[in-house]
Structure 1
Amino acid sequence: MPYLFLAQKNKITYLVLGGDEVVTKSLNELLKIAIEKEASDIFFMPKENCYLIKLNIAGELKFLKKIEKISGVQMINNLKYRANMMLSEHRRPQTGAMEIAEQIYGRLSSVGDFLGRESLVIRLIYQKKTEGMFFFQEQFENVVNNLQKKGLILFSGPVGSGKTTTMYHVARQLKKQVMCIEDPVEINEPSFLQLQVNEKAQMTYAELIKSALRHRPDVFIIGEIRDKETATSVINAALSGHLVISTVHAANVNGVIRRMLALGAHFEDLNQTLNLICYQRLLPTVQGESKVLFDQLFFDTPDTLDFIKNNGSNKMTMNWRMRLEKCLENQWITQQTFVKYLEG
């Protein structure tokens, strides 16, 4: 099926009909390379007369190739079409999602610069086999054990550290009614009821959580706590007797508490609802794979939160360092990886 892409001639923008066979072939080749290299992101970066394509591999941005400007525009519009994004909008930010390949999903984000040149980033989300996903299986079992309680479990870590994959994996262990609210939905899971944020239709995180409570799910997965309204809604859901699993951006496990308080959460409510905080990183192994390492905080006594609030540092816990040293001792990771991730 043909698709539309934008072309300029004498500073006038036209919609040009282009066959998608060549573009699809080029995209498939690009995606194949990215997947083989286990890239977490693909960047289409506009320059004056071309596009630079770069890959984020194990946290390092690597140049892949340079393509003609018109080819870059064609590829971007092909991807936007497949991700249900507006082709006619190439300046304002947009997000979308699509299935890249079997068990591999893409989260797309586009925006135009002040010259109207559009850039695009594809976040690749891999549905990896759960066996061998973690360096220490007992860390995962700690999460599963906390799923048996009502309350709040928070995951943190930088972009691309596998938080969404982990949340879905742990929720599958319950075999209960799970409702997901995300922006956008990243992983297609038929056994879950998945809702997608659409702020233009007034379907915000807070509004969807409020509506979803009427469906009485056993478990909520909330994609991200990013503002006061969402933080309040998440805590209210946990206070109402639900298990809520969510993410929040912070530099370490102690930083999650500060972040939640900064977003307007009340200390007393956190004290009643928080069960576990997991800060996670995806570390490259010497075998060329990537595995999850957690830094975890458990709220199993009433004074735990108070102690962390008043005494928590800006550094990783000693348990993180001990686990990292164990990975190095077992020759699962290199010395370079050990040094790189020592501070989280």
Structure 2
Amino acid sequence: MRIKETVTCLIEEAIANHASDMFFLVRGQEMLVNSRTITGINEQAKFTLNEGKEIINYLKYGAQMDIAEHRRPQVGALTYDYQDEKYYLRLSSVGDFAGCESLVLRIIYQVQAGQYFLPEQIEQLKSLTKRRGLVVTSGPTGSGKTTTMYKLAQAVGQKQMVMTIEDPVEIHQPAFLQTQVNDEAEISYARLLEAALRHRPDILIIGEIRNAQTARLAVDAALSGHLVFATVHAKSTLQTISRLESLQINQNELSNCLTAVSYQRLLPTKTGFSCLLDIASGQVLQDSIRQRQRGNFVSWADNLMKLKQRGEISTPIYEQFQEG
């Protein structure tokens, strides 16, 4: 079996189906390759255990991961060129209780200007960044959060210093100063933030807010006068506020640092995929911060109905995404 050709076919098939993730999992004496698309997780291919190990090692090597380590968690990243487009692949490996290694490969798609259903939503976010503070983009895995965050920073950060703190770097942008967490080298989020503030960036990108420490760093940077972009996993626009509260950020801090929160999904169209956002800012955002019980969306339902009426999405897609 030619490993390079096999991996190429697997990745390009996943891209053609607009899969957000590929899962390389041991099942008995076989290696299954599953992919996650908008319809759920489906089996993509099946290999012998030895073939599967070769595939994983090939991918790990390309992502500059330790191919001799099969138990401890590792992360890596690489870029993939296909049909004149650049895709960013983020890899994560770990061994299970039986010592069998698994690998997850996330595919990050470039979202071009024409791939937003409502381009005025991006313009709204660009306008809001003039207030500085913290702008949080939420949504599930594969919804294009990182791409939107980079698009905003690129649009409003011309002739400005843009610095990123990520784990790992997902999108390579030569115009930005990009830094990456490295636990083995004791390069933590905290240390990188100290370095970031000494570099005096105008715009700071703090990848994914995963824990209380990362949330605290993002809020402190915003409160100190920086424009901060960050992503978080949340089920809806206004529940992004609740997610930040669960990470030990109090309402007073949120009221003073949050400029906007948004939620987004990639929806299939007749010609591909486009991004729909839902944005909370201004008085709507401030009122929601003070509420004990929050709703979910600001204008998601109305915009989804608008897309259906214009024929940009089908009725089944409209029904599937009513809850975000």
Q: 1:89 aligns with which of 53, 69, 74?
A: 69
Letter in structure 2 aligned against 1:315: N
- Whether the 8 Å contact between 2:117 and 2:276 is mirrored in structure 1 is yes
Provide structure 1 residue ranges, at least 5 long, that are not aligned to the other structure: 1-20
Q: Distance in 2 between matches of 1:32 and 1:274?
A: 39
1:316 aligns with 2:297: yes
Give 3-state SS (helix, strand or coil) of 1:195's partner.
strand
- Whether the 8 Å contact between 1:152 and 1:235 is mirrored in structure 2 is yes
Q: Distance in 2 between matches of 1:124 and 1:307?
A: 33
**Bigger Cα displacement from structure 2, 224-233 vs 117-126:** 224-233
Q: 2:15 aligns with which of 29, 35, 51?
A: 35
Q: 1:144 aligns with which of 126, 129, 137?
A: 126
Letter in structure 1 aligned against 2:221: A
- Whether the 8 Å contact between 2:254 and 2:289 is mirrored in structure 1 is no
Q: Deviations over 1:31-62 (max 9, x none)?
A: 22222222211111111111111121225212
- Whether the 8 Å contact between 1:280 and 1:292 is mirrored in structure 2 is yes
1:165 aligns with 2:147: yes
Q: Distance in 2 between matches of 1:237 and 1:110?
A: 31
Q: 1:112 aligns with which of 59, 81, 95?
A: 95
Provide structure 2 residue ranges, at least 5 long, that are not aligned to the other structure: none
Deviation at 1:307, TM superposition (A): 4.2
Q: Distance in 2 between matches of 1:307 and 1:172?
A: 29
Deviation at 1:82, TM superposition (A): 1.1
Tell me the equivalent position of 1:280: 264
The ranges of structure 1 where at least 4 consecutive aligned residues each deviate by more than 6 angstroms after the TM superposition are none
**Bigger Cα displacement from structure 2, 199-208 vs 43-52:** 199-208
Equivalent residues, number: 319
Letter in structure 2 aligned against 1:316: F
Q: Distance in 2 between matches of 1:49 and 1:311?
A: 51
- Whether the 8 Å contact between 2:261 and 2:279 is mirrored in structure 1 is yes
Change (3 A) 1:232 1:22: same
- Whether the 8 Å contact between 1:286 and 1:331 is mirrored in structure 2 is no
1:52 aligns with 2:32: yes
Alignment of 1:2-13 (within 5 A): none
1:68 aligns with 2:69: no
Tell me the equivalent position of 1:9: none
Identity %: 42
Q: Distance in 2 between matches of 1:252 and 1:37?
A: 25
Deviation at 1:304, TM superposition (A): 4.5
Change (3 A) 1:242 1:252: same
Q: 1:291 aligns with which of 230, 252, 274?
A: 274
Larger radius of gyration: 1
Instruction: Tell me the TM-score normalized by structure 2.
Output: 0.94
- Whether the 8 Å contact between 2:113 and 2:119 is mirrored in structure 1 is no
Tell me the equivalent position of 2:240: 256
Q: 1:234 aligns with which of 205, 218, 231?
A: 218
Deviation at 1:233, TM superposition (A): 1.4
Q: Distance in 1 between matches of 2:113 and 2:288?
A: 36
Alignment of 1:328-339 (within 5 A): 328-339=308-319
**Bigger Cα displacement from structure 2, 47-56 vs 321-330:** 47-56
Q: Deviations over 1:253-280 (max 9, x none)?
A: 2211111112111322211111110011
Q: Deviations over 1:45-90 (max 9, x none)?
A: 1111111111212252121121111110001001111111111211
Q: CA RMSD in A?
A: 1.6
Deviation at 1:310, TM superposition (A): 1.3
Q: Distance in 1 between matches of 2:285 and 2:127?
A: 18
Q: Distance in 1 between matches of 2:87 and 2:44?
A: 20
